[in-house]
């Protein structure tokens, strides 16, 4: 069973309604599709200490990983923007940790979206191999 980009975007749109955004008022929703066909959604969760905010994309990814899922095929992200919702640098690096070739559907509330891969969003992203190259060892325990 596979889920269309449109369906995933619809699920991200629903998750967006749960956004906790008293400071920016900027609601973002995300929906992450796993290899097994499960979907984990997320919204942005802000804090009075602004830097502690967690974006919608990372909320969805952390929910999935914390429930034992690490293989992802697509992530939809949506916000009320005239262009398309573009993930921040922190989220791009977190996506790259698990799925460099994952598709990202960047959407808006006008029914428009564009699909791009994580590698295209963050070319040359930092990996465990970069630590090996410095002789420090990654210490990775998959």
Ligand X SMILES: O=c1ccn([C@H]2C[C@H](O)[C@@H](CO)O2)c(=O)[nH]1
The site string for ligand X over 88-107 (x = CB under 6 A, - otherwise) reads x-------------------
User: Smallest Cα–Cα separation from 32: which of 62, 75, 96, 94?
Assistant: 75
Which one is catalytic: 57, 67, 97, 132?
57
Residues annotated within the binding site for Zn(2+) are 55, 88, 91
Q: Are 78 and 58 in contact (CB under 8 A)?
A: no
User: Smallest Cα–Cα separation from 76: which of 45, 25, 111, 122?
Assistant: 111
Distance of CA 4 to the CA centre of its chain: 17
Range 106-135, binding ligand X (CB under 6 A): none
Rounded Cα–Cα distance for residues 55 and 88 (Å): 8
Taking CA atoms, 140 is separated from 111, 129, 134, in Å, by 40, 10, 15
User: Smallest Cα–Cα separation from 91: which of 37, 36, 32?
Assistant: 32
The answer to whether 57 is a known catalytic residue is yes
Q: Does the footprint of Zn ion cover residue 95 (CB under 5 A)?
A: no
Q: Does the footprint of Zn ion cover residue 56 (CB under 5 A)?
A: no
The site string for ligand X over 43-82 (x = CB under 6 A, - otherwise) reads -x-x------x-xxx-------------------x-----
Q: Which residue stretch of 1-9, 23-31, 32-40, 91-99 sits at the interface with Zn ion (rule: CB under 5 A)?
A: 91-99
In the bound state with Zn ion, the residue whose beta carbon lies nearer, of 55 and 79, is 55
Rounded Cα–Cα distance for residues 14 and 107 (Å): 13
In the bound state with ligand X, the residue whose beta carbon lies nearer, of 98 and 131, is 98
Binding site for ligand X (CB under 6 A): 21, 24, 26, 28, 44, 46, 53, 55-57, 77, 85, 87-88
């Amino acid at each position: 069973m596979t889920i269309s980009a449109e369906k995933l975007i619809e699920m991200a749109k629903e998750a967006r309604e749960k956004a906790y955004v008293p400071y920016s008022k900027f609601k973002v929703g995300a929906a992450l599709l796993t290899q097994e066909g499960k979907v984990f959604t997320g919204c942005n969760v802000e804090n009075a200490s602004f830097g502690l905010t967690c974006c919608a994309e990372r909320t969805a990814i952390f929910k999935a990983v914390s429930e034992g899922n690490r293989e992802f095929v697509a992530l939809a992200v949506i916000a009320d923007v005239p262009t398309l919702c573009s993930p921040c640098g922190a989220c791009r690096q977190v996506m790259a940790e698990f799925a460099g070739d994952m598709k990202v559907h960047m959407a808006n509330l006008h029914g428009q979206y564009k699909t791009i891969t994580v590698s295209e969003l963050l070319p040359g992203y930092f990996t465990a191999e970069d630590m090996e190259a410095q002789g420090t060892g990654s210490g990775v325990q998959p």
